[in-house]
Amino acid sequence: MVFEHKSVLLNESIELVLTDPNGLYVDCTLGGGGHSECLLNKLSPVGRLVCFDQDEIAIANARKKFEDDPRVTVFRNNFAEMEETLQNNGLLPVDGIMYDLGVSSPQLDEAERGFSYMQDAVLDMRMDRRRSLTAEEIVNTWSVEDIAGIIRDYGEENWAARIAKFIGEARVTERIRTTGQLVEIIKSAVPAAARREGPHPAKRTFQAIRMAVNKELEVLEETLDQALRCLKPGGRVAVITFHSLEDRIVKNTFQTWLGKCTCPPGLPVCRCGAEPKAKLVNKKPILPSQEEEDNNPRSRSAKLRAAEKLRSK
């Protein structure tokens, strides 16, 4: 399978993260290699790029795509392991780090991966198939309350409790093994009037289960402070998000780096000891243009934020 993926906010993200053509950069979400390829085209012959992905197909395609470029090093690791991997391979510090979060187009389009509510397949949804937790395990073994919680929190689904209740009732009779079975359960749970409006009735639930399977929010929270530690002073981290909870994590983490005093108002002297570690490159998130949204509907919810590590005083 050719791992083809239309990169979102491609030029904008590269412009934000690239500070030195001779530098060392990290692409934490290699995917189809679109951002990596664009960055490589702007690097000098001595510039270097380190790529991470946990999907074996993405890794295989990237190794073939970049096999003749000695500037590229590829690791099949989750980006939660970025700092340790870079440290163990003598690749610290770096000049820039970029993330393009969410699920990639090939993962959605390849039926057997079980990410899509549009194709019937085994309920899987693992980005890294070396891991044990699958969507099938979640819908068949987690409590109804826990399933409702992830659908509500990760999917922001109004019918979360009802969908979870229907899942709980259905699995008593028959194990839920396929995406098709789950879609029909969700359709039966969501009232007809609600199904006629908005996106596909299964969209938010599938997104929520996928995020739970891959622990996407937990991993994101873990990796951002790693990224700051890995950067050289003056280096930048750029993050493209596709979900409001992801964007909130990035925004809030960046805010903690600004070193704003958290002491109660009225104290004559600051006691919290807050010191700025970074500054925002763009105060407001960069959004896709209307042209990009028209050409790539999956870009519509994308937001790009970037921060720069401060130089020591």
For residue 115, being part of any structural domain is answered with no
Q: Measured between alpha carbons, how far is 101 from 114 in angstroms, rounded to an integer?
A: 18
As a whole number of Å, the end-to-end CA separation of the chain is 50
**Residue whose tokens read 């690239």:** 18
What dihedral do alpha carbons 157, 158, 160, 161 form, nearest 10°? 170
For residue 248, being part of any structural domain is answered with yes
Q: pLDDT truncated to tens, each residue of the chain (313 aa)?
A: 444 556 889 999 999 999 999 999 999 999 888 999 999 999 999 999 999 999 888 899 889 999 999 999 999 999 999 999 999 999 999 999 999 997 766 666 677 788 889 989 999 999 999 999 999 999 999 999 999 999 999 999 999 999 999 999 999 999 999 999 999 999 999 998 888 887 899 999 999 999 999 999 999 999 999 999 999 999 999 999 999 999 999 999 999 999 987 777 777 777 777 789 999 999 999 999 999 998 988 888 999 999 999 987 6
Residues 22, 91: one domain? yes
Backbone angles phi, psi at 35, to 5 degrees: -65, -40
Helical spans, DSSP H, in 156-243: 160-173, 179-189, 192-195, 203-213, 216-230
Q: Measured between alpha carbons, how far is 119 from 279 in angstroms, rounded to an integer?
A: 44
For residue 195, being part of any structural domain is answered with yes
Domain enclosing residue 199, as ranges: 132-213
Q: Measured between alpha carbons, how far is 14 from 126 in angstroms, rounded to an integer?
A: 28
Lookup: tokens for 244: 């409001």
**Residue whose tokens read 């229907």:** 166
For residue 96, being part of any structural domain is answered with yes
Cα angle, residue 33 at apex, residues 85 and 72 outer, rounded to 5°: 50
For residue 100, being part of any structural domain is answered with yes
Residues 204, 231: one domain? no
For residue 239, being part of any structural domain is answered with yes
Residues 152, 290: one domain? no
- pLDDT score for 2: 47
Residues 189, 246: one domain? no
- pLDDT score for 311: 87
Residues 6 or more apart whose CB falls under 8 angstroms from that of 84 comprise none
Task: Taking the CA atoms of 7, 10, 16 and 17 in sequence, report the sign of the dihedral they define.
Answer: positive
Residues 18, 140: one domain? no
**Cβ(206)–Cβ(178) below 8 Å:** no
pTM of the model: 0.89
Burial class (CB in 10 A: 0-12, 13-18, 19+), 265: exposed
Q: Which of 169, 189, 213 is the last residue of a domain?
A: 213
Backbone angles phi, psi at 235, to 5 degrees: -75, 160
Residues 220, 288: one domain? yes
Q: Measured between alpha carbons, how far is 167 from 176 in angstroms, rounded to an integer?
A: 8
Q: Which of 187, 213, 239 is the last residue of a domain?
A: 213
Residues 247, 293: one domain? yes
Residues 23, 100: one domain? yes
Residues 101, 223: one domain? yes
- pLDDT score for 105: 62
Q: Which of 176, 191, 213 is the last residue of a domain?
A: 213
**Considering its fold, how many domains does the chain have in total?**
2
For residue 124, being part of any structural domain is answered with no
Strands in 231-241's sheet, in edge-to-edge order, are 72-75, 48-52, 24-27, 94-100, 231-241, 303-309, 278-280
Residue 193 sits in a domain of what CATH number? 1.10.150.170
Residues 237, 279: one domain? yes
For residue 81, being part of any structural domain is answered with yes
Residues 225, 299: one domain? yes
Residue 73 sits in a domain of what CATH number? 3.40.50.150
- pLDDT score for 313: 60
Residues 165, 47: one domain? no
Q: Measured between alpha carbons, how far is 233 from 183 in angstroms, rounded to an integer?
A: 49
Q: Measured between alpha carbons, how far is 39 from 262 in angstroms, rounded to an integer?
A: 38
